[in-house]
A and B are shown apart, each in its own frame.
Chain A
Amino acid sequence: MSQRMTKIHLFGLVGLLLLLVGSYLGLFVAPPDRYMGDVQRIMYVHLPSAWNGMLCYLFAFGFAIASIWQHKPKWDALTVGAIEVGAVLNALLLIQGSIWARPTWGVWWDWDVRLTTSLIMFLLFAGVLALRSFVEDPNQRATWTAIATIVAFIDVPLVYFCVRWWRSLHQVQSTPDTVSSAMVMPLRLNSIAIFLLVIWMVAQRARLEMIRHQKEQVDEPARMATVGGLENV
């Protein structure tokens, strides 16, 4: 295993350890929320998932621009890694949101602004992955993935504002975002933990994609000798 790959595994290891510590603190040490009680503890993974998911998509956007600029396979590999990890975090976010909403409001889904935007984001980037699966030529796949990623990412703020205006006419119920000081430590730990895990997972996924790319490479055939005459061709 190369030096670089060993260092990457450190990210994963430290991330996992921090996640264990942060989650322990969040579940057993931090005080319960004054109004919501223990249900609120889901915030310790919900908020870090949300922030890091968004960060993944931001990375994907950057990698996509690099992919169009430079046409190198590593940028495409990083783009798809960031999208896939972002989509996983996005999906987890939606599930966590439902788990929180059910005991709090009695419904699995209530069109909260951030959750609704997350659902649309998930569909946007899942669409990019779907497009990718239909393109065989690797160069075209890389370019089109990058284009779809850029287009999807630019849409996110538009979707957010749109949903916010749409919701503002209705009763506002949103996931809590004010955090008391006793809760900051586990939240911070988990955020950093998931960030480190994100780096590890994106690197692993990108590495897989590079291996796939290398498998697709075929060396140029040997140069054929020229012939003196075409009689026997």
Chain B
Amino acid sequence: MFKSVALIRESIVGMVGLALIVFWVFVAVFADVIAPFPPNATIMPMALPGMEGPDGEVFWLGTDHIGRDILSRIIHGSRRVLIFAPLATFCAYAVGIPMGLAAGYRRGTTDDVLSFIANIILSFPVLVLYVIIIATLGASAINILVAVTFASAPGIFRIVRGLALDLRNREYVFAAETRGESPWRIMMIEILPNARGPLIVDACLRLGYVIITIGVLGFLGLGLPPPDPDWGGMINETRSMATSFPHMTIFPVIAISSLILGFNLLADGLREVSLRD
């Protein structure tokens, strides 16, 4: 699989995806340098894209209803997405992987109980689950992490469980069992590294979904609290004006779509090259 990560250069689709991701990571890292204005400064309300401000500065993407530069907010908003989405995905994996390994390797009652729990959570339509959790617990960064972990871990559990069920019958696992290794050592050192291929592809796709989720929550008004820029929240705040000032909503939408597209294309490219060898 690491070979295929290097092979990604051979997949045009994958490279386009990678380029999009690298672009946004670059923007997020150098946000302070690139952004022409501070993200929360109110300068001139309702400026259209390309309009000049009071001191001759240009609002390339216009400003929003309270006069904040949209370009600067998008640039700074990329930080939030690129910190929260990987963090939430990581938490979901940290919960899903051990459970999946345990269910797939030990089987029996462990598997039955964990699979049943996973199936229950998966029977909820995802967004219904998010809305109920966030509305009950309140919208905050930590609750969003909890909600994403809770809703995504069962999916990861299923994939890991399936992989572990297959890998537990390999000779290197028998060898480790004969050596007398502890079950957790076998799961983490023998099985997990050999399951990495499909998991890397899944992680890319899942990052895309988590970005959508964070965006949707922001859009529904259940996201991270203002005033710091959040792409979903930017759309929510200005969507009532979208029919007269579409620039306020359309640019954040393009930003979030391009990032999700990046992860999906990269996942597709990785899958393509990993099937090849």
A and B together in one complex:
no
